[in-house]
Structure 1
Amino acid sequence: MTRVLWLAHENAIFTFDVALNPSDLLLAVNGGDWRPPAAIFALLSPEVQALQKPLRGVLLGHLVVVYPLALVESEDAYQSMPHVQLSERQRLVLQGLAEGLSLKIIARRLGISQSTVAAHVRALKQRLNCHTLAEIILRGSALGLCDPEQSLPSLYKPRLKHAKTANLRSRLSRR
Protein backbone atom coordinates (compact mmCIF):
# COMPACT_ATOMS: atom_id res chain seq x y z
CA MET A 1 0.00 0.00 0.00
CA THR A 2 1.42 3.36 -1.03
CA ARG A 3 0.24 6.84 -0.05
CA VAL A 4 -0.15 9.15 -3.07
CA LEU A 5 -0.05 12.93 -2.91
CA TRP A 6 -1.56 14.10 -6.19
CA LEU A 7 -0.94 17.75 -6.99
CA ALA A 8 -3.66 17.99 -9.62
CA HIS A 9 -3.62 21.77 -9.80
CA GLU A 10 -2.32 24.72 -7.82
CA ASN A 11 -5.57 24.69 -5.83
CA ALA A 12 -6.37 20.97 -5.92
CA ILE A 13 -4.35 18.48 -3.86
CA PHE A 14 -5.53 14.95 -3.08
CA THR A 15 -4.16 12.13 -0.95
CA PHE A 16 -5.19 8.52 -1.25
CA ASP A 17 -3.73 5.01 -1.01
CA VAL A 18 -2.91 2.72 -3.92
CA ALA A 19 -2.35 -1.03 -3.74
CA LEU A 20 1.09 -0.91 -5.42
CA ASN A 21 4.50 -0.65 -3.85
CA PRO A 22 6.13 2.80 -4.19
CA SER A 23 8.72 1.88 -6.84
CA ASP A 24 6.17 0.12 -9.09
CA LEU A 25 3.78 3.05 -8.77
CA LEU A 26 6.55 5.51 -9.64
CA LEU A 27 7.48 3.52 -12.74
CA ALA A 28 3.83 3.35 -13.82
CA VAL A 29 3.30 7.09 -13.31
CA ASN A 30 6.46 8.14 -15.15
CA GLY A 31 5.82 5.57 -17.89
CA GLY A 32 2.34 6.96 -18.57
CA ASP A 33 0.58 3.75 -17.49
CA TRP A 34 -1.15 5.12 -14.39
CA ARG A 35 -4.12 7.42 -13.94
CA PRO A 36 -5.71 8.73 -10.72
CA PRO A 37 -8.87 6.96 -9.55
CA ALA A 38 -11.88 7.92 -11.68
CA ALA A 39 -13.94 9.04 -8.67
CA ILE A 40 -11.28 11.56 -7.65
CA PHE A 41 -10.50 12.60 -11.23
CA ALA A 42 -14.19 13.45 -11.72
CA LEU A 43 -13.95 16.10 -8.99
CA LEU A 44 -11.76 18.25 -11.24
CA SER A 45 -13.09 20.78 -13.72
CA PRO A 46 -12.83 19.84 -17.42
CA GLU A 47 -10.09 22.46 -17.93
CA VAL A 48 -7.96 20.96 -15.14
CA GLN A 49 -8.68 17.42 -16.40
CA ALA A 50 -7.24 18.41 -19.77
CA LEU A 51 -3.97 19.47 -18.10
CA GLN A 52 -3.41 16.04 -16.50
CA LYS A 53 -1.37 14.60 -19.37
CA PRO A 54 1.40 13.60 -18.94
CA LEU A 55 1.83 12.89 -15.24
CA ARG A 56 5.16 12.70 -13.43
CA GLY A 57 6.02 11.29 -10.03
CA VAL A 58 8.67 11.68 -7.38
CA LEU A 59 9.32 9.19 -4.61
CA LEU A 60 9.59 10.81 -1.17
CA GLY A 61 10.10 8.03 1.32
CA HIS A 62 6.95 5.90 1.23
CA LEU A 63 5.02 8.73 -0.37
CA VAL A 64 4.72 9.20 -4.13
CA VAL A 65 4.06 12.78 -5.21
CA VAL A 66 2.26 12.86 -8.55
CA TYR A 67 1.87 16.04 -10.56
CA PRO A 68 0.94 16.98 -14.11
CA LEU A 69 3.83 18.21 -16.21
CA ALA A 70 1.75 21.32 -16.93
CA LEU A 71 2.10 22.26 -13.23
CA VAL A 72 5.79 22.91 -13.81
CA GLU A 73 6.61 24.77 -17.02
CA SER A 74 8.18 21.77 -18.77
CA GLU A 75 10.48 18.86 -18.17
CA ASP A 76 13.26 21.08 -19.52
CA ALA A 77 12.87 23.21 -16.38
CA TYR A 78 14.71 20.45 -14.50
CA GLN A 79 17.38 20.08 -17.14
CA SER A 80 18.09 23.82 -17.28
CA MET A 81 19.24 23.87 -13.62
CA PRO A 82 21.61 20.92 -13.22
CA HIS A 83 24.17 22.86 -11.21
CA VAL A 84 22.12 24.77 -8.68
CA GLN A 85 24.37 25.92 -5.86
CA LEU A 86 22.79 25.99 -2.40
CA SER A 87 24.33 27.05 0.85
CA GLU A 88 24.60 24.43 3.59
CA ARG A 89 21.68 26.00 5.50
CA GLN A 90 19.52 26.12 2.37
CA ARG A 91 20.28 22.46 1.75
CA LEU A 92 19.34 21.61 5.36
CA VAL A 93 16.09 23.60 5.10
CA LEU A 94 15.29 21.82 1.82
CA GLN A 95 15.95 18.47 3.52
CA GLY A 96 13.56 19.40 6.32
CA LEU A 97 10.89 20.39 3.81
CA ALA A 98 11.36 17.10 1.96
CA GLU A 99 10.73 15.26 5.23
CA GLY A 100 7.48 17.17 5.64
CA LEU A 101 8.61 19.17 8.66
CA SER A 102 7.06 22.53 9.46
CA LEU A 103 9.14 25.70 9.36
CA LYS A 104 8.90 25.87 13.15
CA ILE A 105 10.33 22.38 13.65
CA ILE A 106 13.07 23.00 11.06
CA ALA A 107 14.01 26.16 12.95
CA ARG A 108 14.19 24.26 16.25
CA ARG A 109 16.32 21.48 14.80
CA LEU A 110 18.76 23.90 13.19
CA GLY A 111 18.85 26.30 16.12
CA ILE A 112 17.76 29.30 14.06
CA SER A 113 14.68 31.48 14.09
CA GLN A 114 11.55 30.68 12.13
CA SER A 115 11.94 33.91 10.16
CA THR A 116 15.44 32.81 9.10
CA VAL A 117 14.01 29.51 7.86
CA ALA A 118 11.37 31.49 5.94
CA ALA A 119 14.16 33.59 4.38
CA HIS A 120 15.92 30.39 3.30
CA VAL A 121 12.65 29.13 1.78
CA ARG A 122 12.30 32.39 -0.18
CA ALA A 123 15.88 31.96 -1.43
CA LEU A 124 15.11 28.36 -2.43
CA LYS A 125 12.05 29.49 -4.35
CA GLN A 126 14.17 31.99 -6.24
CA ARG A 127 17.09 29.65 -6.95
CA LEU A 128 14.89 26.74 -8.00
CA ASN A 129 12.42 28.97 -9.88
CA CYS A 130 9.47 27.73 -7.80
CA HIS A 131 6.29 29.28 -6.45
CA THR A 132 5.13 26.73 -3.88
CA LEU A 133 6.68 24.46 -1.25
CA ALA A 134 5.55 21.41 -3.22
CA GLU A 135 7.47 22.64 -6.26
CA ILE A 136 10.58 23.23 -4.14
CA ILE A 137 10.44 19.65 -2.89
CA LEU A 138 9.78 18.22 -6.36
CA ARG A 139 12.59 20.13 -8.03
CA GLY A 140 15.01 19.63 -5.17
CA SER A 141 14.37 15.90 -5.23
CA ALA A 142 14.60 15.72 -9.03
CA LEU A 143 17.95 17.53 -8.93
CA GLY A 144 19.25 15.31 -6.14
CA LEU A 145 19.53 18.20 -3.67
CA CYS A 146 17.55 16.42 -0.94
CA ASP A 147 16.97 12.86 0.12
CA PRO A 148 13.60 12.17 1.76
CA GLU A 149 14.95 8.92 3.21
CA GLN A 150 17.49 10.84 5.27
CA SER A 151 16.49 12.75 8.38
CA LEU A 152 17.45 16.31 9.21
CA PRO A 153 20.22 16.36 11.82
CA SER A 154 19.68 18.27 15.02
CA LEU A 155 22.39 20.92 15.03
CA TYR A 156 21.04 22.86 17.99
CA LYS A 157 22.80 22.31 21.29
CA PRO A 158 20.64 23.79 24.07
CA ARG A 159 22.60 26.00 26.46
CA LEU A 160 21.88 26.55 30.12
CA LYS A 161 19.29 29.26 30.48
CA HIS A 162 20.91 31.19 33.28
CA ALA A 163 24.50 31.70 34.29
CA LYS A 164 23.41 31.52 37.94
CA THR A 165 22.13 27.99 37.43
CA ALA A 166 25.44 26.95 35.85
CA ASN A 167 27.38 28.57 38.68
CA LEU A 168 25.24 26.80 41.29
CA ARG A 169 25.71 23.44 39.57
CA SER A 170 29.47 23.85 39.48
CA ARG A 171 29.51 24.71 43.21
CA LEU A 172 27.40 21.68 44.09
CA SER A 173 29.63 19.35 42.10
CA ARG A 174 32.72 20.51 44.05
CA ARG A 175 31.26 19.47 47.42
Structure 2
Amino acid sequence: MPLAALLERRPAAAPAGLAVLVRAAGPALAARLARLPGIRLVEEEAAATVVVTDQPLAAGGPPAPMLPTLILAEGPAALAGLRAGAQAVLPPDAAPDQVAAGLAALGRGLAVLPPALLAGLAGREPSVPVEAGLTRREREVLDLLAAGASNKVIARRLGLSFHTAKAHVAAVLQKLGAGSRADAVARGRGPGWCCCEGRMIQVHHLNNSRSQRILWLLEELGLPYEVIRYERDPATMLAPPELKRIHPLGKSPVLVEDGEVLAESAAIAEYLLERHGAGRLAPAPGSPGYRRFRAWMHFAEGSAMTPLLVKLYLLRVGEAAAPVLARIDGNLAAMLDYLEAEVAREGWFAGPDFTAADVMMSFPLEAATQRGGLDESRPALFGLLRRLQSRPAYRRALERGGPYAYAT
Protein backbone atom coordinates (compact mmCIF):
# COMPACT_ATOMS: atom_id res chain seq x y z
CA MET A 1 0.00 0.00 0.00
CA PRO A 2 1.44 3.46 -0.85
CA LEU A 3 2.71 5.54 2.05
CA ALA A 4 0.18 8.26 1.18
CA ALA A 5 -2.64 5.78 1.72
CA LEU A 6 -1.22 4.77 5.09
CA LEU A 7 -1.08 8.39 6.14
CA GLU A 8 -4.71 8.90 5.15
CA ARG A 9 -5.81 5.87 7.21
CA ARG A 10 -4.25 7.12 10.44
CA PRO A 11 -6.59 8.59 13.08
CA ALA A 12 -7.12 12.31 12.72
CA ALA A 13 -6.42 12.82 16.42
CA ALA A 14 -2.92 11.25 16.26
CA PRO A 15 -0.26 13.48 17.85
CA ALA A 16 2.26 15.26 15.65
CA GLY A 17 5.00 13.08 17.19
CA LEU A 18 8.42 12.22 15.83
CA ALA A 19 8.76 12.76 12.08
CA VAL A 20 9.99 9.45 10.61
CA LEU A 21 11.14 8.78 7.06
CA VAL A 22 10.87 5.10 6.06
CA ARG A 23 13.29 3.57 3.59
CA ALA A 24 12.23 0.02 2.81
CA ALA A 25 11.77 -2.30 -0.14
CA GLY A 26 8.05 -2.69 0.50
CA PRO A 27 5.15 -1.18 2.45
CA ALA A 28 5.29 -3.56 5.44
CA LEU A 29 7.70 -1.49 7.52
CA ALA A 30 5.74 1.73 6.95
CA ALA A 31 2.50 -0.03 7.93
CA ARG A 32 4.17 -1.35 11.07
CA LEU A 33 5.45 2.08 12.11
CA ALA A 34 2.16 3.80 11.26
CA ARG A 35 0.53 1.96 14.16
CA LEU A 36 3.00 3.24 16.76
CA PRO A 37 1.89 6.08 19.06
CA GLY A 38 3.74 9.37 18.81
CA ILE A 39 5.12 8.58 15.33
CA ARG A 40 4.40 10.66 12.25
CA LEU A 41 5.43 9.26 8.88
CA VAL A 42 6.74 11.70 6.29
CA GLU A 43 7.77 11.26 2.67
CA GLU A 44 10.49 13.92 2.34
CA GLU A 45 13.87 13.85 4.08
CA ALA A 46 13.65 17.61 4.65
CA ALA A 47 10.58 17.06 6.85
CA ALA A 48 12.02 14.13 8.82
CA THR A 49 13.75 13.97 12.20
CA VAL A 50 14.96 10.36 11.95
CA VAL A 51 15.17 7.61 9.34
CA VAL A 52 14.14 3.97 9.77
CA THR A 53 15.35 1.37 7.29
CA ASP A 54 15.48 -2.39 6.93
CA GLN A 55 17.83 -2.09 3.94
CA PRO A 56 21.56 -2.93 4.16
CA LEU A 57 23.96 -0.08 4.87
CA ALA A 58 27.56 -0.80 3.99
CA ALA A 59 30.73 1.24 4.40
CA GLY A 60 31.92 2.00 0.89
CA GLY A 61 28.43 1.40 -0.50
CA PRO A 62 25.61 3.90 -0.94
CA PRO A 63 25.91 6.72 1.59
CA ALA A 64 23.98 6.43 4.83
CA PRO A 65 21.19 8.97 5.36
CA MET A 66 22.32 12.31 6.76
CA LEU A 67 19.64 12.10 9.48
CA PRO A 68 19.94 9.93 12.61
CA THR A 69 19.16 6.43 11.39
CA LEU A 70 17.69 3.29 12.96
CA ILE A 71 18.43 0.11 11.04
CA LEU A 72 16.45 -3.04 11.69
CA ALA A 73 19.08 -5.73 11.27
CA GLU A 74 21.12 -8.29 13.15
CA GLY A 75 24.46 -10.06 12.90
CA PRO A 76 26.92 -8.81 10.26
CA ALA A 77 24.29 -6.57 8.66
CA ALA A 78 23.83 -4.73 11.97
CA LEU A 79 27.58 -4.21 12.39
CA ALA A 80 27.89 -3.05 8.79
CA GLY A 81 25.07 -0.60 9.36
CA LEU A 82 26.83 0.90 12.38
CA ARG A 83 30.08 1.26 10.46
CA ALA A 84 28.20 2.94 7.63
CA GLY A 85 26.76 5.58 9.94
CA ALA A 86 23.59 4.25 11.59
CA GLN A 87 23.20 5.46 15.18
CA ALA A 88 20.67 2.85 16.29
CA VAL A 89 20.15 -0.86 15.71
CA LEU A 90 17.26 -3.12 16.65
CA PRO A 91 16.50 -6.68 15.52
CA PRO A 92 14.08 -6.99 12.60
CA ASP A 93 11.45 -8.57 14.85
CA ALA A 94 11.72 -5.99 17.65
CA ALA A 95 8.50 -5.51 19.58
CA PRO A 96 6.49 -2.34 18.83
CA ASP A 97 7.27 -0.83 22.24
CA GLN A 98 11.00 -1.42 21.65
CA VAL A 99 10.85 0.31 18.27
CA ALA A 100 8.91 3.24 19.73
CA ALA A 101 11.39 3.58 22.60
CA GLY A 102 14.34 3.29 20.23
CA LEU A 103 12.98 6.01 17.97
CA ALA A 104 12.29 8.30 20.92
CA ALA A 105 15.87 7.84 22.15
CA LEU A 106 17.28 8.39 18.66
CA GLY A 107 15.27 11.60 18.33
CA ARG A 108 16.94 12.85 21.52
CA GLY A 109 20.40 12.21 20.09
CA LEU A 110 21.05 8.90 21.89
CA ALA A 111 22.52 5.72 20.45
CA VAL A 112 20.48 2.51 20.63
CA LEU A 113 22.09 -0.93 20.72
CA PRO A 114 20.56 -4.27 21.74
CA PRO A 115 22.60 -6.17 24.38
CA ALA A 116 23.26 -9.05 21.99
CA LEU A 117 25.14 -6.71 19.65
CA LEU A 118 27.55 -5.33 22.23
CA ALA A 119 29.74 -8.44 22.21
CA GLY A 120 30.21 -8.09 18.48
CA LEU A 121 31.51 -4.58 18.96
CA ALA A 122 34.24 -5.53 21.42
CA GLY A 123 36.92 -5.91 18.78
CA ARG A 124 35.80 -3.03 16.62
CA GLU A 125 37.76 0.23 16.45
CA PRO A 126 35.50 3.09 17.56
CA SER A 127 34.16 5.05 14.61
CA VAL A 128 34.61 8.23 16.65
CA PRO A 129 37.84 7.87 18.67
CA VAL A 130 38.17 9.78 21.92
CA GLU A 131 40.88 12.42 21.92
CA ALA A 132 41.69 14.48 24.99
CA GLY A 133 38.32 13.76 26.57
CA LEU A 134 36.20 14.89 23.61
CA THR A 135 35.06 12.68 20.78
CA ARG A 136 35.91 13.75 17.26
CA ARG A 137 32.31 14.84 16.71
CA GLU A 138 32.42 16.91 19.89
CA ARG A 139 35.63 18.58 18.72
CA GLU A 140 33.84 19.51 15.49
CA VAL A 141 30.97 20.91 17.52
CA LEU A 142 33.40 22.90 19.66
CA ASP A 143 35.02 24.36 16.53
CA LEU A 144 31.62 25.48 15.31
CA LEU A 145 30.78 26.96 18.70
CA ALA A 146 33.98 29.00 18.45
CA ALA A 147 32.79 30.22 15.05
CA GLY A 148 29.58 31.47 16.64
CA ALA A 149 27.33 28.79 15.15
CA SER A 150 23.88 28.21 16.62
CA ASN A 151 22.53 24.70 17.25
CA LYS A 152 20.59 24.97 14.00
CA VAL A 153 23.71 25.85 12.02
CA ILE A 154 25.68 23.06 13.74
CA ALA A 155 22.98 20.59 12.75
CA ARG A 156 23.09 21.68 9.09
CA ARG A 157 26.88 21.79 8.98
CA LEU A 158 27.37 18.31 10.43
CA GLY A 159 24.30 16.66 8.89
CA LEU A 160 22.58 16.11 12.25
CA SER A 161 19.09 16.62 13.55
CA PHE A 162 18.57 19.72 15.66
CA HIS A 163 18.08 17.59 18.78
CA THR A 164 21.28 15.61 18.12
CA ALA A 165 23.26 18.83 17.66
CA LYS A 166 21.80 20.19 20.89
CA ALA A 167 22.78 16.98 22.71
CA HIS A 168 26.36 17.26 21.40
CA VAL A 169 26.58 20.87 22.58
CA ALA A 170 25.35 19.82 26.02
CA ALA A 171 27.94 17.03 26.13
CA VAL A 172 30.74 19.45 25.24
CA LEU A 173 29.71 21.85 27.99
CA GLN A 174 29.43 19.03 30.52
CA LYS A 175 32.84 17.50 29.68
CA LEU A 176 34.57 20.86 29.81
CA GLY A 177 32.78 21.88 32.98
CA ALA A 178 31.58 25.02 31.21
CA GLY A 179 28.65 27.14 32.24
CA SER A 180 28.05 28.63 28.79
CA ARG A 181 29.02 28.23 25.15
CA ALA A 182 31.56 31.05 25.40
CA ASP A 183 33.04 29.43 28.50
CA ALA A 184 33.34 26.12 26.64
CA VAL A 185 35.23 27.81 23.80
CA ALA A 186 37.58 29.51 26.26
CA ARG A 187 38.23 26.24 28.12
CA GLY A 188 38.68 24.32 24.87
CA ARG A 189 41.32 26.68 23.55
CA GLY A 190 43.52 26.11 26.59
CA PRO A 191 44.42 22.45 25.89
CA GLY A 192 44.15 22.96 22.14
CA TRP A 193 40.85 21.16 21.68
CA CYS A 194 39.34 24.13 19.87
CA CYS A 195 41.11 25.26 16.71
CA CYS A 196 38.46 27.40 15.09
CA GLU A 197 39.69 30.82 16.16
CA GLY A 198 40.18 32.94 13.05
CA ARG A 199 38.58 30.34 10.77
CA MET A 200 35.12 31.82 10.33
CA ILE A 201 34.40 32.13 6.62
CA GLN A 202 33.96 35.74 5.54
CA VAL A 203 32.10 36.76 2.41
CA HIS A 204 32.62 40.28 1.07
CA HIS A 205 29.22 40.73 -0.47
CA LEU A 206 28.05 43.43 -2.87
CA ASN A 207 24.34 44.11 -3.14
CA ASN A 208 22.61 42.93 -6.34
CA SER A 209 25.63 40.93 -7.45
CA ARG A 210 26.76 37.41 -8.19
CA SER A 211 28.02 37.05 -4.64
CA GLN A 212 24.43 36.24 -3.65
CA ARG A 213 25.10 32.75 -5.05
CA ILE A 214 27.97 32.22 -2.62
CA LEU A 215 25.76 33.05 0.35
CA TRP A 216 23.20 30.61 -1.03
CA LEU A 217 25.79 27.84 -1.48
CA LEU A 218 27.03 28.36 2.08
CA GLU A 219 23.45 28.02 3.31
CA GLU A 220 22.95 24.83 1.30
CA LEU A 221 26.12 23.40 2.88
CA GLY A 222 25.10 24.55 6.35
CA LEU A 223 28.37 26.40 6.95
CA PRO A 224 28.69 29.26 9.45
CA TYR A 225 29.89 32.46 7.82
CA GLU A 226 30.10 36.20 8.26
CA VAL A 227 28.72 38.63 5.68
CA ILE A 228 30.57 41.90 5.14
CA ARG A 229 28.24 44.06 3.05
CA TYR A 230 29.08 46.69 0.46
CA GLU A 231 26.62 48.91 -1.38
CA ARG A 232 26.84 49.98 -5.01
CA ASP A 233 27.09 53.66 -5.87
CA PRO A 234 23.47 54.53 -6.76
CA ALA A 235 24.60 56.74 -9.67
CA THR A 236 27.31 54.60 -11.28
CA MET A 237 26.20 51.18 -9.90
CA LEU A 238 29.89 50.47 -9.26
CA ALA A 239 31.26 48.80 -6.14
CA PRO A 240 32.70 51.11 -3.49
CA PRO A 241 36.50 51.60 -3.42
CA GLU A 242 36.68 49.83 -0.05
CA LEU A 243 36.45 46.49 -1.83
CA LYS A 244 39.87 47.11 -3.39
CA ARG A 245 41.37 46.79 0.07
CA ILE A 246 40.30 43.13 -0.02
CA HIS A 247 41.09 42.38 -3.68
CA PRO A 248 42.89 44.60 -6.23
CA LEU A 249 40.00 44.45 -8.72
CA GLY A 250 37.47 45.61 -6.14
CA LYS A 251 34.84 43.11 -7.27
CA SER A 252 32.55 40.72 -5.43
CA PRO A 253 32.32 37.96 -4.37
CA VAL A 254 35.48 37.63 -2.34
CA LEU A 255 35.75 34.85 0.23
CA VAL A 256 38.30 34.79 3.03
CA GLU A 257 39.09 31.69 5.11
CA ASP A 258 42.21 30.95 7.16
CA GLY A 259 43.75 34.15 5.83
CA GLU A 260 43.39 33.03 2.19
CA VAL A 261 41.59 35.42 -0.16
CA LEU A 262 39.60 33.85 -2.99
CA ALA A 263 37.87 35.61 -5.89
CA GLU A 264 35.81 34.41 -8.89
CA SER A 265 32.45 32.79 -8.23
CA ALA A 266 33.13 29.38 -9.79
CA ALA A 267 36.53 29.10 -8.11
CA ILE A 268 34.98 29.95 -4.74
CA ALA A 269 32.15 27.45 -5.27
CA GLU A 270 34.59 24.68 -6.20
CA TYR A 271 36.76 25.50 -3.20
CA LEU A 272 33.80 25.27 -0.82
CA LEU A 273 32.73 21.93 -2.29
CA GLU A 274 36.26 20.50 -2.13
CA ARG A 275 36.95 21.65 1.42
CA HIS A 276 33.52 21.49 3.04
CA GLY A 277 31.18 19.65 0.69
CA ALA A 278 31.88 16.07 1.81
CA GLY A 279 30.52 14.84 -1.53
CA ARG A 280 27.39 16.98 -1.43
CA LEU A 281 25.97 19.07 -4.30
CA ALA A 282 28.22 17.49 -6.95
CA PRO A 283 28.49 14.17 -8.78
CA ALA A 284 31.40 11.86 -7.95
CA PRO A 285 34.72 13.27 -9.29
CA GLY A 286 35.84 11.53 -12.44
CA SER A 287 32.37 10.37 -13.43
CA PRO A 288 30.71 11.45 -16.70
CA GLY A 289 28.20 13.37 -14.59
CA TYR A 290 31.03 15.27 -12.93
CA ARG A 291 32.40 16.43 -16.27
CA ARG A 292 28.96 17.72 -17.21
CA PHE A 293 28.71 19.38 -13.81
CA ARG A 294 32.06 21.16 -14.29
CA ALA A 295 31.00 22.36 -17.73
CA TRP A 296 27.88 24.04 -16.32
CA MET A 297 29.83 25.50 -13.39
CA HIS A 298 31.94 27.44 -15.90
CA PHE A 299 29.25 27.97 -18.55
CA ALA A 300 27.56 30.31 -16.08
CA GLU A 301 30.34 32.89 -16.10
CA GLY A 302 31.56 32.19 -19.62
CA SER A 303 28.97 31.57 -22.32
CA ALA A 304 25.93 32.60 -20.29
CA MET A 305 26.99 35.91 -18.78
CA THR A 306 28.92 37.30 -21.76
CA PRO A 307 25.93 38.26 -23.98
CA LEU A 308 23.98 39.45 -20.95
CA LEU A 309 26.79 41.81 -19.94
CA VAL A 310 27.27 43.02 -23.50
CA LYS A 311 23.57 43.83 -23.73
CA LEU A 312 23.66 45.63 -20.39
CA TYR A 313 26.33 48.03 -21.67
CA LEU A 314 24.81 48.41 -25.13
CA LEU A 315 21.48 49.46 -23.63
CA ARG A 316 23.28 52.43 -22.12
CA VAL A 317 24.59 53.53 -25.51
CA GLY A 318 21.17 54.27 -26.96
CA GLU A 319 19.94 54.07 -30.57
CA ALA A 320 23.44 53.79 -31.98
CA ALA A 321 23.67 50.29 -30.52
CA ALA A 322 20.48 49.02 -32.21
CA PRO A 323 22.17 47.00 -34.99
CA VAL A 324 24.44 45.22 -32.52
CA LEU A 325 21.62 44.71 -30.03
CA ALA A 326 19.63 42.77 -32.62
CA ARG A 327 22.52 40.37 -33.02
CA ILE A 328 22.96 40.01 -29.26
CA ASP A 329 19.25 39.30 -28.84
CA GLY A 330 19.56 36.56 -31.43
CA ASN A 331 22.47 35.01 -29.53
CA LEU A 332 20.53 35.20 -26.29
CA ALA A 333 17.48 33.52 -27.82
CA ALA A 334 19.63 30.69 -29.18
CA MET A 335 21.32 30.24 -25.81
CA LEU A 336 18.02 30.15 -23.91
CA ASP A 337 16.63 27.58 -26.37
CA TYR A 338 19.71 25.44 -25.72
CA LEU A 339 19.32 25.76 -21.94
CA GLU A 340 15.61 24.97 -22.17
CA ALA A 341 16.36 21.71 -24.00
CA GLU A 342 19.09 20.75 -21.52
CA VAL A 343 16.99 21.37 -18.41
CA ALA A 344 13.98 19.62 -19.93
CA ARG A 345 15.99 16.38 -20.05
CA GLU A 346 16.24 15.77 -16.29
CA GLY A 347 14.94 18.86 -14.53
CA TRP A 348 18.33 20.19 -13.41
CA PHE A 349 21.47 21.31 -15.21
CA ALA A 350 23.87 18.53 -14.21
CA GLY A 351 21.61 15.52 -14.04
CA PRO A 352 18.62 14.27 -12.04
CA ASP A 353 19.63 16.02 -8.81
CA PHE A 354 20.12 19.58 -7.58
CA THR A 355 23.82 20.52 -7.56
CA ALA A 356 26.05 23.56 -7.18
CA ALA A 357 25.85 23.93 -10.96
CA ASP A 358 22.23 24.99 -10.53
CA VAL A 359 23.38 27.56 -7.97
CA MET A 360 25.94 28.94 -10.43
CA MET A 361 23.48 29.03 -13.32
CA SER A 362 20.83 30.82 -11.26
CA PHE A 363 22.32 34.30 -11.73
CA PRO A 364 22.37 34.18 -15.56
CA LEU A 365 18.77 32.97 -15.46
CA GLU A 366 17.76 35.76 -13.11
CA ALA A 367 19.50 38.34 -15.30
CA ALA A 368 17.85 36.83 -18.39
CA THR A 369 14.40 37.44 -16.93
CA GLN A 370 15.20 41.15 -16.84
CA ARG A 371 17.06 41.67 -20.11
CA GLY A 372 17.38 38.35 -21.92
CA GLY A 373 13.82 37.36 -22.75
CA LEU A 374 13.40 34.47 -20.31
CA ASP A 375 9.75 33.98 -19.41
CA GLU A 376 7.00 31.32 -19.29
CA SER A 377 7.49 30.62 -23.01
CA ARG A 378 10.40 28.39 -21.92
CA PRO A 379 8.60 26.41 -19.21
CA ALA A 380 11.42 24.06 -18.17
CA LEU A 381 13.93 26.86 -17.68
CA PHE A 382 11.51 29.32 -16.13
CA GLY A 383 10.10 26.61 -13.85
CA LEU A 384 13.59 25.65 -12.72
CA LEU A 385 14.34 29.24 -11.76
CA ARG A 386 11.17 29.42 -9.68
CA ARG A 387 12.08 26.15 -7.93
CA LEU A 388 15.57 27.43 -7.19
CA GLN A 389 14.26 30.67 -5.76
CA SER A 390 11.83 28.81 -3.51
CA ARG A 391 14.48 26.66 -1.84
CA PRO A 392 14.76 27.35 1.91
CA ALA A 393 18.51 27.93 1.67
CA TYR A 394 17.98 30.49 -1.10
CA ARG A 395 15.51 32.38 1.09
CA ARG A 396 17.87 32.27 4.07
CA ALA A 397 20.64 33.69 1.91
CA LEU A 398 18.38 36.60 0.98
CA GLU A 399 17.94 37.36 4.67
CA ARG A 400 21.69 37.36 5.20
CA GLY A 401 22.60 39.30 2.05
CA GLY A 402 19.97 42.00 2.14
CA PRO A 403 17.80 43.38 -0.70
CA TYR A 404 18.34 41.57 -4.00
CA ALA A 405 16.70 43.00 -7.10
CA TYR A 406 16.71 39.69 -9.00
CA ALA A 407 14.66 37.75 -6.43
CA THR A 408 10.93 37.23 -6.95
Q: TM-score, length-normalised on structure 1? A: 0.40
**Which structure has the highest helix share of the two?**
2
**Which structure has the highest strand share of the two?**
1
Q: TM-score, length-normalised on structure 2? A: 0.18
Instruction: Choose 1 or 2 for highest CA Rg.
Output: 2
